[in-house]
Structures are given as C-alpha cells and as structure tokens.
C-alpha cells in the first residue's frame, strides 16, 4: 500500500496536509533524489490556472534544485500536453500541478514517466521512501537550475493538429469551445481555428479562482446555450486540465464520453484500424455496450479511474477506452487521455462522413441510468448485506439482459453508491429507490 499516492497522484484541499507548500517542497526533493540516482537529466513542471499553482510550482522547483535536479518550467499547460512534452523532450519525468475538474481551492500533483505514461509503482514507492526520510541539500556547486520553456504551447498545438490528416479542412464548420478557465485557454482555440473551423470561445479568462466554475466538461449548460444562440454546428467543453471532453450537437444535446467513444470506435472499425476490445468502466452505459456488440466489438469493463482503463488497454492490446465523464484514451494517437485530441477524432469522422454530430451519435441509444448515494457513518460492504443482495438479485432477474445494477462503497466518501440502468426510465428509477431504501434499512440495523 502507498502512503501518499492515490490512483491519480496526490490531491486534496490547498492548505490541508498534504497539499501544503512544505510538503510540496519535500515532494520535489524526494522526486529529485529518485531521478538523480538515474543520472543526468531534468524534470518538467507544468500547472493549470488555479492560484495555488504559483506557490506549488516554486516549492517543487526549490525541492528539485536541493536534490541537484534541473527543472524546466512549462507554465499553464494541459495535463496531456505535459505528458507529450515529457516524452518528446526526453525528461526524467513530468510533474503536473492540477486538481483536474475540482474547484480552485483544491489542488494536486501527478506524474508522467519519460514514456508519457503514469509512473510505475516502484518509482512511486521510492519517492515515498524519501518523503519519510530527512531532507538534505546537495553542495552548492551541484544545485539544480531552472528555466522556462518558451515554445511549449506551440509544440503541443502542432502535435494535436498532427493527429488528424492535414488534408482535412474544417472551413465552414462553426463551433463553440469552452476551456473551463483552465489550462487549455491559450491552446484549444488555436488548435481548432488552425484546422479551419470558425471558433467562438467561453471559459478563456482564467483569474486563478474561476477554474471549472459553472463551465467546462463538468458543467456544460452554458455551452449548450451558446451553441443554440450562435447556431453553431457543435460545441466542445474541456475540463480544467484538458484531459476530459464533453461535446454538444447542433440541437443542444449533450454528447458524453460513452457516446464519443462509440463514435471513435465505429470510425476506427470502418477504417480497419480497430485493435482489441473497447475498455470502459463499471459506470459505462449499457447502451454503449449493446451498441458496440451490434458492431461486433467487445466492451471490457475496468474499475472507475483512468489508471485502470489504461491497465486493461495494455493487457488486451487495445487502442481505445475511457469513461462517460469524457476522459478518453486514444492510444493510436497519444499516451494518455486528451480532450482536444479526442474531439478532433470525432470532428474528423464528421468531415469524412459528411454527417452531423447528432447523426453520428444516433447509432448508440443510451439507457436511463439512475444513481443514488446513500450516506453511511460506518464502513460497510454492500456485498455482505444479505437483505440488500436478495433485493438486488430479484431486480436483476426482473430486468434480465436489459438492465444492470452497480452497488459499491465509495472509495473517497462515506457513501454506498446505488446505480441502476435499463430501458424504461420509470422502472429504473423505482428499482434504484427500492434498492437504496433496502441499503438504508440494512445500515440502520
């Protein structure tokens, strides 16, 4: 078990341990010690637009320098952009200062290896070893240096554009891009306009406090309004660090991660370049699974979290996976989830087929999905609650292969999550409430 690292780095509220300046100083030093053992090299550090990024960037730089490691600072940069630059600049590692889709008062740290993927467990264990050791400083002549990479944004913009054929010209396509006041604010509009689209933007005025605030992939209502108001062909909503995307069609209907993965999978299949199964999660809509089955494609479900999606993609030699939240991994294009690149793949399919986003998503019918969170003041495993399991089995028998139940304890909050999905919404809602009531009774017993 790791003491500090979770499934996606280290995250929490700014000012509360471990998301403090002193801990980040020690983390920079511990990371530097690990990579200094591997010889000469440097570490990239990038961040999103939340105000605490200034403080943590300085703390990490100081820690790395004290371990004798050079730092190359990227400034505001999407998480997938940092993964790309870590790989292409041959850095020892890339460090991302971001809490992704969380509010400004949260922050976190995650790492990329020189391959542009998550750090191996053994490296994280080594970093944790040094975190629990006394901090030292190398002699002055061996201290690390820092410099800024001035062309980081331009490098990443060109990479994003390279993931679709240069012959594709999107002139005549009108789109709205919501950057969530996050790290894509100075990148995404350039990418989409440079491939020819007419771009209107929202969420491109970060002030350090407004990241993800009523905008972006987690709150696309404003984007829906703007698409309808401007008569755009589509909208693209990214989250604060740019690794998620939700799209909106010309009718103002939201197109979530499951539907986008379906569109990309169908496109790859028709071109004869689809390898392996599609990897989803326990939350992936049953409608997507049935839609893929009709195409002759298998869906493999991972635990919730992009780390687990990546593990199954590697295990099954797959190229496409992701979550309904819009975190989509196209391994035939890049090494991690990337909102801009995923959107470009969907736009490329619109261009090639001449079909609208609304038409492309119509091949998959989403099933109604009801989620009820039941609060609990004690640790409980729903699999061990006999009355709950009895009710669950009865509902599953009633729904047959036309429905699905997910019952699990939250890993981050004192909740039991009850999720039911099926064909008919009223029935699904009733089943979910019935099961949630049974959970409440069992917890009160």
Which residues are known catalytic residues? Answer: 100
Beta strands 10-13; 106-113: pairing state: antiparallel
Rounded CA gap, 435 and 405, in Å? 10
Contacts of 170 (CB under 8 A, 6+ apart): 192, 195, 196, 197, 347, 351
The helix/strand/coil state of 405 is strand
DSSP element (H, E) containing 154:
helix 152-161
Two structure tokens written together for 207: 């002030």
Joined together, the tokens standing for residue 153 give 């944004």
Q: Rounded to whole angstroms, how far apart are CA atoms 185 and 163?
A: 20
β 328-330/403-409 pair status: unpaired
Q: How far is the C-alpha of 85 from the C-alpha of 93, rounded, in Å?
A: 10
Distance between CA atoms of 211 and 241, rounded to whole angstroms? 9
Angstrom distance (rounded) from CA 369 to CA 112: 34
**To which H or E segment does residue 121 belong?**
helix 121-131
d(CA 33, CA 35): 6
Give the residue carrying structure tokens 């989250």: 239
């Amino acid at each position: 078990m790791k003491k500090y690292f979770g499934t996606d780095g280290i995250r929490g509220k700014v000012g509360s341990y471990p998301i403090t300046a002193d801990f980040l100083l020690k983390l920079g030093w511990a990371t530097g010690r690990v990579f200094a053992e591997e010889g000469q090299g440097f570490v990239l550090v990038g961040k999103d637009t939340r105000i605490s990024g200034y403080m943590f960037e300085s703390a990490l730089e100081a820690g790395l320098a004290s371990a004798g490691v050079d730092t190359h600072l990227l400034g505001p940069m999407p998480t997938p952009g940092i993964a790309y630059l870590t790989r292409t600049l041959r850095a020892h590692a890339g460090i991302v200062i971001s809490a992704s889709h969380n509010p400004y008062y949260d922050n976190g740290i995650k790492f990329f290896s020189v391959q542009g993927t998550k750090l191996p467990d053994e490296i994280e264990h080594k970093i944790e070893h040094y975190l629990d050791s006394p901090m030292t400083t190398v002699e002055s002549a061996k201290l690390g240096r820092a410099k800024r990479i001035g062309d980081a944004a331009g490098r990443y913009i060109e990479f994003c554009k390279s993931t679709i054929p240069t012959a594709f010209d999107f002139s005549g396509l009108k789109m709205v891009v919501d950057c969530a006041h996050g790290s894509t604010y100075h990148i995404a509009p350039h990418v989409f306009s440079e491939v020819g689209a007419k771009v209107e933007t929202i969420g491109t005025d970060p002030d350090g406090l407004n990241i993800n605030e009523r905008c972006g992939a987690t709150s696309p209502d404003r984007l829906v309004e703007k698409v309808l108001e401007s008569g755009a062909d589509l909208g693209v909503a990214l989250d604060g660090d740019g690794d998620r995307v939700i799209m909106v069609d010309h009718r103002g209907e939201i197109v979530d991660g499951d539907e986008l993965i379906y569109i990309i999978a169908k496109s790859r299949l028709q071109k004869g370049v689809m390898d392996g199964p599609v990897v989803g999660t326990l939350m992936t809509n049953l409608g997507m699974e049935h839609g893929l089955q009709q195409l002759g494609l298998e869906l493999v479900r991972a635990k919730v979290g992009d780390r687990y999606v990546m593990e199954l993609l590697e295990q099954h030699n797959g190229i496409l996976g992701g979550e309904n939240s819009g975190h989509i991994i196209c391994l035939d294009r890049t090494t991690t989830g990337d909102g801009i690149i995923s959107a470009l793949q969907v736009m490329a399919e619109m261009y090639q087929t001449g079909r609208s986003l609304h038409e492309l998503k119509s091949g998959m019918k989403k099933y109604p999905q009801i989620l009820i969170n039941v609060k609990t003041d004690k640790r409980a495993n729903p699999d061990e609650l006999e009355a709950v399991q009895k009710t669950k089995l009865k509902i599953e028998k009633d729904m047959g292969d036309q429905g699905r139940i997910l019952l699990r304890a939250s890993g981050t909050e004192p909740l039991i999550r009850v999720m039911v999905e099926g064909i008919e919404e009223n029935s699904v809602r009733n089943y979910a409430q019935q099961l949630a009531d049974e959970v409440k009774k069992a917890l009160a017993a």
